């Protein structure tokens, strides 16, 4: 006796169709799962047996073989519990096997038969849609997530509910409406908290409007991190396509809260500087998204940039250039989107005294060179905006609060719309100034392109149709200064 269900394994972010076949035959009772199942997946045997028993259903005393096909694809995690249970119940005719047609299933089983959520329900739903399956049996918590992919969820809390549904006895309750407000529980920190630092605020606004990577350098304690954390708060909410991408990534990473709808707030990730290369750019034996992917369409903050290990920093260059990370494995190549705005902070020297009038730097020239050498020229070149922040004076800190994030965001949104509508031409005086800067500073080809890009953003923020000389001049002020470059 044979029954078949469909589920999806994840390779990177991509769902791959897996057929779950259960076969029963006479003989000494036994239960085997074949088809390259990992440990968590092998343990499904025990959960499925206990779950079926707890649901007051019968565990068939037969020789049970469950095959996960294709057999060469590695299967991981507990998401196969529910499809295996359904296939076994179908094969033992406790539910009509034909009723399983047109359905995919995903979910982990508890020992008492309850269905637990697993990461990646949204990706699994997308896989179901691509396979032409109209319905996905899933945990109740994932119902709203599945609905986002355009697949009808059969959201069940318990294995019994799934069985009743397939027997045609009763439909499970409708999943609750997705609740988009749930994500906004913790509002991003507000720019109104920042006193003084007008130039840094301006740079944040430019970074938000143009999607420019921003490097803040300066002595410790002057608010570099505080400023950097306020960038997400002035970004406009994600549009539908971006929100779907982000929600899918966060679903696979298990970051979505239960019953969440589309993620509309741009993500913000701030990995610690001890993070490994795989944690930052993604990887692992079965590729998992890294921080750069979790920050897709949002902000990645690397606090104390030179403290990150050199391999991590060098690995960042690919996503910064291509907006994606490709992880090659024996099983195939996983591509993770990683289009984020990078904000980084650093001191001017290892001891932190440099640039601070209230302290003195005790670093030797060799220590300074080593510190600067940690950031390759190639990485430094990826920052459109580089700002050296001096220590603000006490009266600045006592000044009145300035504009809050709510006031800045509309300007950012308007500038983005303007930038998207096409490139603005360069004024004659602006071209002269740029040519002079190329000769005098000197500016590389890539540096010139970067200045031009920032100048366009400045013009867009000023609602100007053409890029004027003053826009280019301001853009030039954000180039990386000599004190951050090695061998200065």
Partner 1 sequence: MNELALAVHAAAHDLHASEREARSARFAAFAAAFDAAAFVRTLEAQGIRWLARSDPGFPPRLAAIHDPPPGLFLRGAARPELLSRAAVAVVGARSCTDYGAHVARRLARELAAAGVVVISGLARGVDGHAHRGALDGGGATVAVLGCGIDRDYPRAHAPLAAQIVAAGLVVSEYPPGVAPAPWRFPARNRIVAGLAAATLVVEARERSGALITADLALDEGRDVLAVPGEITSALSYGTNALLRIGAVPVTRAEDVLEAIGVEPASPPPGDPPTGAAAAALAALDGGARTADEVARAAGLAPGEAAAALTQLELAGLVTAAAGIYRR
For binding to partner 1 (CB under 8 A), which residues are involved?
Answer: 196-199, 201-202, 218, 348, 354-355, 364-365, 369, 387-390, 392-393, 396, 433, 436-437, 440-441, 458, 462, 470-471, 473-474, 476-478, 481, 483, 486-488
Q: For residue 398, how many other CB atoms are within 10 A of its CB?
A: 9
Closer to partner 1 by Cβ: residue 129 or 479:
479
Q: How far apart are CA 201 and CA 461, in angstroms?
A: 14
Distance CA 246, CA 296 (A): 7
Task: Please identify, using beta-carbon distances, which residue of 75 and 212 lies nearer to partner 1.
Answer: 212
**Nearest distance from C-beta of residue 470 to partner 1, angstroms:** 4
Q: 341-346 and 385-388: which strand pairing? A: unpaired
Q: Which is nearer to partner 1, 158 or 409 (CB)?
A: 409
CB of residue 467 vs partner 1: minimum separation in angstroms? 12
CB of 388 to partner 1, least distance (A): 4
CB of 407 to partner 1, least distance (A): 15
Give whole-number Cα distances, 263 to 60, 72, 183, 238, in Å: 43, 34, 7, 8
Is the CB of 129 or the CB of 391 nearer to partner 1?
Answer: 391
H or E element that contains 207: helix 198-210
Question: Long-range contacts: 411-418, Cβ < 8 Å, 24+?
Answer: 411/205, 411/209, 411/461, 412/205, 412/208, 412/209, 412/234, 412/235, 412/236, 413/236, 414/463, 415/209, 415/210, 415/457, 415/460, 415/461, 416/209, 416/236, 416/460, 418/460, 418/463
Neighbours of 412 (CB within 10 A): 21
Q: Which is nearer to partner 1, 185 or 394 (CB)?
A: 394
Tokens for 253, please give them. Answer: 């990473």
Sign of CA dihedral 284, 287, 289, 292: positive
* Residue whose CB is less far from partner 1, 159 or 348: 348
Instruction: Please tell me the distance from the alpha carbon of residue 344 to that of residue 327, in angstroms, as a whole number.
Output: 24
Least CB distance to partner 1 at residue 362 (A): 10
Output the smallest distance, CB 421 to partner 1, in A. Answer: 22
**Shortest Cβ distance from residue 386 to partner 1 (Å)?**
11
Least CB distance from residue 487 to partner 1, whole Å? 4
CB of 348: closest distance to partner 1 in angstroms?
A: 6
Specify the residue, 17 or 202, whose C-beta has the smaller distance to partner 1. 202
Peptide bond before 392: cis, by omega within 30 degrees of 0? no
Nearer to partner 1, 135 or 199 (CB): 199
- Encoded tokens for 266: 């741009």
The CB-of-198 to partner 1 minimum distance in angstroms stands at 4
Q: Are strands 108-109 and 115-116 parallel, antiparallel or unpaired?
A: antiparallel
Residue placing its CB nearer to partner 1 in the complex, 264 or 354: 354
Q: Quote the Cα angle for 476-481-483, to 5°.
A: 175
Distance CA 436, CA 258 (A): 57
Residue with Cβ nearer partner 1 (138 or 389): 389
**Per-residue three-class SS string for 452-487:** HHHHHHHHHHCCCCCECHHHHHHHHCCCCCHHHCCC
């Amino acid at each position: 006796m044979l029954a078949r269900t469909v589920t999806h394994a994840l390779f990177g972010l991509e769902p791959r169709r897996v057929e779950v076949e259960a076969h029963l035959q006479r003989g000494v009772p036994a239960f085997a799962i074949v088809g390259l199942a990992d440990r968590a997946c092998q343990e499904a045997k025990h959960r499925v047996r206990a779950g079926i028993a707890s649901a007051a259903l019968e565990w068939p005393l037969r020789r049970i073989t469950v095959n996960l096909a294709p057999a060469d694809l590695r299967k991981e995690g507990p998401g196969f519990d529910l499809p295996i249970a359904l296939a076994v119940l179908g094969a033992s005719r406790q539910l009509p096997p034909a009723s399983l047609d047109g359905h995919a299933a995903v979910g982990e089983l508890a020992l008492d038969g309850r269905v637990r959520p697993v990461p990646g329900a949204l990706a699994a739903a997308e896989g179901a849609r691509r396979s032409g399956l109209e319905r996905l049996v899933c945990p109740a918590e994932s119902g709203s997530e599945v609905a986002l992919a355009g697949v009808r969820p059969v959201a069940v809390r318990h294995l019994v509910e799934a069985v009743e549904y397939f027997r045609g006895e009763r439909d499970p309750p409708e999943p609750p409406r997705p609740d988009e407000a749930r994500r906004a529980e913790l509002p991003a920190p507000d720019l109104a908290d920042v006193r003084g630092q007008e130039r840094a605020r301006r740079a944040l606004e430019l970074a938000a409007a143009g999607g420019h990577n921003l490097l803040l350098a300066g002595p410790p304690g002057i608010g570099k991190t505080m400023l950097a954390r306020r960038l997400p708060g002035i970004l406009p909410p994600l549009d539908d396509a971006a929100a779907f991408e982000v929600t899918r990534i966060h679903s696979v990473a298990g970051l979505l809260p239960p019953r969440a709808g589309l993620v509309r707030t741009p993500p913000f990730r701030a990995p610690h500087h001890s993070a490994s290369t795989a944690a930052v750019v993604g990887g692992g034996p079965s590729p998992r998204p890294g921080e750069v992917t979790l920050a897709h369409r949002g902000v990645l903050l690397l606090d104390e940039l030179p403290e990150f290990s050199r391999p991590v920093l060098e690995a960042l260059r690919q996503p910064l250039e291509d907006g994606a990370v490709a992880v090659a494995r024996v099983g195939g190549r996983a591509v993770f989107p990683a289009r984020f705005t990078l904000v980084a902070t650093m001191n001017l020297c290892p001891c932190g005294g440099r640039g601070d009038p209230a302290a003195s730097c005790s670093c030797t020239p060799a220590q300074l060179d080593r510190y600067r050498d940690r950031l390759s020229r190639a990485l430094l070149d990826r920052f459109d905006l580089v700002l050296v922040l001096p220590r603000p004076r006490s009266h600045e800190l006592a000044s009145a609060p300035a504009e809050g994030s709510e006031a800045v965001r509309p300007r950012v949104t308007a500038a983005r719309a303007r930038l998207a509508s096409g490139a603005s031409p360069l004024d004659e005086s602006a071209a002269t100034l740029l040519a002079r800067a190329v000769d005098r500073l000197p500016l590389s080809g890539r540096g010139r392109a970067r200045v031009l890009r920032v100048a366009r953003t400045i013009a867009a923020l000023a609602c100007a149709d053409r890029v004027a000389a003053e826009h280019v001049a301001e853009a030039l002020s954000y180039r990386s200064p000599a004190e951050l470059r090695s061998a200065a």
